[in-house]
Amino acid sequence: MPNRLKVAVSPHIHKPVSVSKIMWSVSLSLIPAGIAGAFIFGFPALWITVISLITAVTTEAVIQKLTNKKISIKDGSAFLTGLLLAYNLPPSVPFWIPVVGSFFSIAIGKMIFGGLGQNIFNPALAGRAFLMASWPSYMTSFTGPLKFDAVTSATPLALLKEGKPLGDVSYMDMFLGLRGGCIGEVCIIALLIGAAYLLFRRYINWQIPFTFILTVGLFTWICGPRGFLTGDGIFHVLSGGLILGAFFMATDYVTSPLTINGQIIFAFGCGLLTAIIRLWGGYPEGVSYAILIMNAATPIIDRFTKTRVYGIVRY
């Protein structure tokens, strides 16, 4: 079976794929979304991404130097964390926000647990949650697309939450990314190009993202605002950070379950929590919190979806 990844339940077979190769491939697959974000929101988006990347890589190097560990910044995991964190920030945040966020992601989200492979939570999302709880005003003010004069405009989900009219944002606008939102989450088509590359190379499997997205779509459709089956599932799938979260953050090897069954449970939980937070929660968007909560549940999912050892009698 040449398509099996190294991190999986047994049986194992060697494959010339390494952690760093996967990390750099995922980073590469996120580039189109970054270019789209920089095009939609202008130069601030680009600077925020660069600052976040530099801080993440520097933090990892400095901590590994201080703790006398091998400096492993070349494996690309810190780069990926910095990139994902930047993609989760609004383009109008002050420049110290990505610095603090990246530092928190790497130092508290990852290195304190023992580095790559030991962390419980997705580091980029841990950083985002920290920023969100610390500076909510910066983290929830968004600039509109293709307007470079920093006029604030709410995201479609925030408008929906406040019960305001959505204006003239069509599905096509949302698909192309012409809406308010975080740097890397808006341009769905660019994200899908990257995701298709990862799926094609089999670096991620289809079970997690598709279960996640399908659950959100179906649940928001079933529990609509005007009763049963009246929701706008397509709107919910295209808005917020769902596509970014489902393809690039819920599929993180370290913080998602090992078996396929476990991954489906994990993704279903993510989708359900996202939909619940969006429909009835206090925040307009819930993808990041849903993934973090399910990250915490990953060890227990792994325990209950253990594969049976061949030859052992089932009790």
Q: Which stretch binds another protein (CB under 8 A): 74-82, 132-140, 199-207, 211-219?
A: 132-140
Q: What are phi and psi of 143, to 5 degrees?
A: -100, 155
Q: How far is the CB of 134 from another protein (least distance, A)?
A: 4
- Select 136 or 299, whichever has its Cβ closest to another protein: 136
Q: Which stretch binds another protein (CB under 8 A): 133-141, 181-189, 230-238, 270-278?
A: 133-141
Q: How far is the CB of 48 from another protein (least distance, A)?
A: 16
- Select 135 or 268, whichever has its Cβ closest to another protein: 135
Binding-site member from 66, 133, 312, 313 for another protein (CB under 8 A)? 133
**Interface with another protein includes 134 (CB under 8 A)?**
yes
Burial of 8 (0-12, 13-18, 19+ CB in 10 A): middle
**Interface with another protein includes 66 (CB under 8 A)?**
no
Encoding tokens for residue 88? 């989760």
**Interface with another protein includes 135 (CB under 8 A)?**
yes
- Select 218 or 293, whichever has its Cβ closest to another protein: 293
- Select 107 or 193, whichever has its Cβ closest to another protein: 107
The residues, any chain, with a CB within 8 Å of residue 258's CB and separated by 6 or more, are 7, 8, 9, 302, 305
**Interface with another protein includes 100 (CB under 8 A)?**
yes
Q: How far is the CB of 289 from another protein (least distance, A)?
A: 13
**Interface with another protein includes 234 (CB under 8 A)?**
no
User: H helices within the chain, ranges in order?
Assistant: 19-41, 43-66, 77-87, 96-107, 123-134, 136-139, 156-162, 171-176, 188-200, 207-222, 233-238, 242-244, 260-280, 287-304
207-222 helix and 260-280 helix, angle to the nearest 10 degrees: 30
Rounded to 5°, angle at Cα 314 from 307 and 258:
10
The residues, any chain, with a CB within 8 Å of residue 227's CB and separated by 6 or more, are none
**Interface with another protein includes 130 (CB under 8 A)?**
yes
The interface mask with another protein, positions 106-125, x = CB under 8 A, is: --x---x-------------
Q: How far is the CB of 304 from another protein (least distance, A)?
A: 28
In three state form, how does the secondary structure of 26-46 look?
Answer: HHHHHHHHHHHHHHHHCHHHH
Instruction: Tell me which residues touch another protein (CB under 8 A).
Output: 100, 108, 112, 130, 133-136
